[in-house]
Chain A
């Protein structure tokens, strides 16, 4: 197992490196850079810009060099000093900027994933066991609609709904009091988790971000379960008098879970990617909107680091799902051992 994990990590590292190179290339594709657009903005406001200061700034951030030189410098600093560079837009080191939103992003992602599986898997099982019942039809239809409505529009609909029902508009994850506390550093992110109002505010984002994934889980779970329930071993177990509950939960479920678990990394990346627009719409202080802003402002070190961190988390997700799979399915375990 240890060997297996090591091998996975080793194959992923080059991909991560290439990915970061591509990301850096893409970020600098649009014409201009942060300083030029910043200076243009200042000039439009009628302020005077000192050209010599500008040149020194350019040199300091290496903006006068070709993009691959900038990339190698940036990568070198990360690898040697764990220094991710400086965010122009937030005027702070990139790492501390990201650290202010990363924990909450991971919390939201994990809770969303939990929601995804806790809702998707049981309903999928129910739909398969009671195939063609009214409940099955309702859930299937709901699943289809959930996949058809773009997440961000679903967010708007839900926000509109809560506005109609409760009369208060949903704005962001935190109450203004918490937001001030977080900004001034008198409050830490884990203290927020203990507050009741925070979880009340989490409900909409989790439902919104989780829905399309949940519907996907539901549908694949149903299809897999139906597949398993039609197999000969089920017939054999029934003939031997094994209780229906035991057949479904002990044997079929275990086999049917396989693709759902192997899709875990996909779910994780889906949550990261898919949530970005929803988070922008819902004004959530997460990594997604920060990435969007950074890309808009061509704040390349910040955007590059965020994408790197996302890629890293997705790789961890893939690893976890592979380990889980090996634990679930003895065939994968044994073939791994034989290979060793």
Chain B
């Protein structure tokens, strides 16, 4: 038996209606979080930001594999080399991506020329540095290979490996140029992102806990407890962050392992930044504690801690998460400024702020503009977190 055309059409319409109804049902049955996620997905900028951040964190996670060189590898002949151009055709023939070997050489000068140059530098009040030039050998193409063996590392901190995504077997490839010690900036940006992208997260987590606990105690109990906590917050807030950083990072003993230093710096950053969140939480508690359901819970004999954690906190959790997201950018900038001043992460570990230390004065930027590349990543990350936070704020607002 065959269905008539009209029947088919009716069936299709019915199916469509059923689908729409289910969709609607899903909407009405969705939890608060599902609704938020749905709204967030519709926010164009937030979606793009989420993709960018996902990519950045992915790169940081597999950083050791993606970066062609390790943090400690350097090449004395490659100091301040500009980004290595990647070519595809040699002598008019296409042979895939390859680079030419380049290195920095001192200009050969006669003794008389050298002393004249030294004298001129002295007159200008500058330190004499012998002039160099970049010698490129464009007779022999060095192909860029995939999955090459290089320095060994522990993949995800567990599996020993020496495989890198790409690299060259002879000479060096510097996609973003090299720094003043001949280290690959591209690798350093990737490996630095492991610090720069996770410190804000860990720090936010610590300040989240601190802010939540202290803020809720202050708001829930009120009275003299509230008064004392508020004064402490005021004092902390009116202290400029610079002396705090300097004193606290001077208190970090020299020569401790990078992991510990990393943790200590995270703690310093979060010790300064919990106050904002504590204020927000306190304000929310003040307005919620007189609600009927809190009174009912109290009458029913629920303990204070349980009322706070089970009944009140979920009421403004979405708001807190938005606040957290918007707090991450300032922590990224904080870490960058700290490292920029030399108060944060110390070598051999690196972060974007440490890399930007090379861009401290105009002359070095004018000579090697590629040292500004880390700035691009700092700005990109901060912007992405800002847009994501903005999108989340819109999504968490039930009246929009």
Binding site for B on A (CB under 8 A): 15, 18-19, 22-23, 26-27, 29-31, 144-145, 147-150, 152-153, 156-157, 159-160, 163-164, 169-170, 269, 272-273, 276-277, 280-281, 288, 291-292, 295-296, 303, 307, 310-311, 314
Q: Which of A153, A272, A273, A280 contacts B378 (CB under 8 A)?
A: A153
Across-interface contacts of B241 in A (CB, < 8 A)? 273
Across-interface contacts of A153 in B (CB, < 8 A)? 336, 356, 359, 375, 378
Docked pose: A147 CA to B389 CA in angstroms: 14
Q: Which of B240, B247, B365, B369 contacts A273 (CB under 8 A)?
A: B240
Docked pose: A272 CA to B243 CA in angstroms: 13
Residue of B240, B248, B386 contacting most chain A CB atoms (<10 Å): B240
Cβ-based interface call for B259 (8 A): no
Across-interface contacts of B333 in A (CB, < 8 A)? 150
Smallest CB–CB gap between B92 and chain A, Å?
36
Across-interface contacts of A269 in B (CB, < 8 A)? 238, 240
Q: Are A156 and B240 in contact (CB under 8 A)?
A: no
Binding site for A on B (CB under 8 A): 231, 234-235, 238-244, 246-248, 250-251, 329, 333, 336-337, 340-341, 356, 359-363, 365-366, 369, 372, 375, 378-379, 382-383, 386-387
Q: Are A22 and B248 in contact (CB under 8 A)?
A: no
Closest to A171 in B: B362
Q: Are B362 and A170 in contact (CB under 8 A)?
A: yes
Q: Are B362 and A29 in contact (CB under 8 A)?
A: no
Q: Which of B238, B336, B363 contacts A311 (CB under 8 A)?
A: B238
Across-interface contacts of A22 in B (CB, < 8 A)? 235, 239
Known: A273-B242, A277-B341. A29 touches B250 (CB 8 A): yes
Across-interface contacts of B341 in A (CB, < 8 A)? 277, 280, 292
Q: Are B238 and A15 in contact (CB under 8 A)?
A: yes
Docked pose: A149 CA to B243 CA in angstroms: 22
Closest to A294 in B: B243
Known: A18-B235, A277-B340. A145 touches B243 (CB 8 A): no
Known: A30-B251, A277-B337. A160 touches B386 (CB 8 A): no
Across-interface contacts of B382 in A (CB, < 8 A)? 147-149
Docked pose: A18 CA to B240 CA in angstroms: 14
Residue of A148, A164, A272 contacting most chain B CB atoms (<10 Å): A148
Docked pose: A149 CA to B386 CA in angstroms: 12
Across-interface contacts of A31 in B (CB, < 8 A)? 250
Smallest CB–CB gap between A289 and chain B, Å?
10
Closest to B341 in A: A277
Q: Are B242 and A169 in contact (CB under 8 A)?
A: no
| Besides A148-B383, A156-B362, A310-B240, 7 other A-B contacts (C-beta < 8 A) | A29-B251, A145-B379, A148-B386, A153-B356, A160-B372, A277-B337, A292-B242
Q: Are A145 and B383 in contact (CB under 8 A)?
A: yes
Q: Are B362 and A163 in contact (CB under 8 A)?
A: yes
Smallest CB–CB gap between A223 and chain B, Å?
11
Across-interface contacts of A170 in B (CB, < 8 A)? 362
Across-interface contacts of B329 in A (CB, < 8 A)? 147-148
Some 18 contacts from A to B, beta carbons below 8 A apart, are A15-B238, A23-B239, A26-B239, A29-B250, A30-B247, A144-B383, A148-B379, A150-B336, A150-B378, A152-B340, A157-B372, A160-B372, A273-B242, A276-B240, A276-B242, A277-B341, A291-B242, A303-B243
Q: Are A160 and B365 in contact (CB under 8 A)?
A: yes
Across-interface contacts of A19 in B (CB, < 8 A)? 235, 238-239
Smallest CB–CB gap between A199 and chain B, Å?
21
Smallest CB–CB gap between B255 and chain A, Å?
14
Smallest CB–CB gap between A25 and chain B, Å?
9
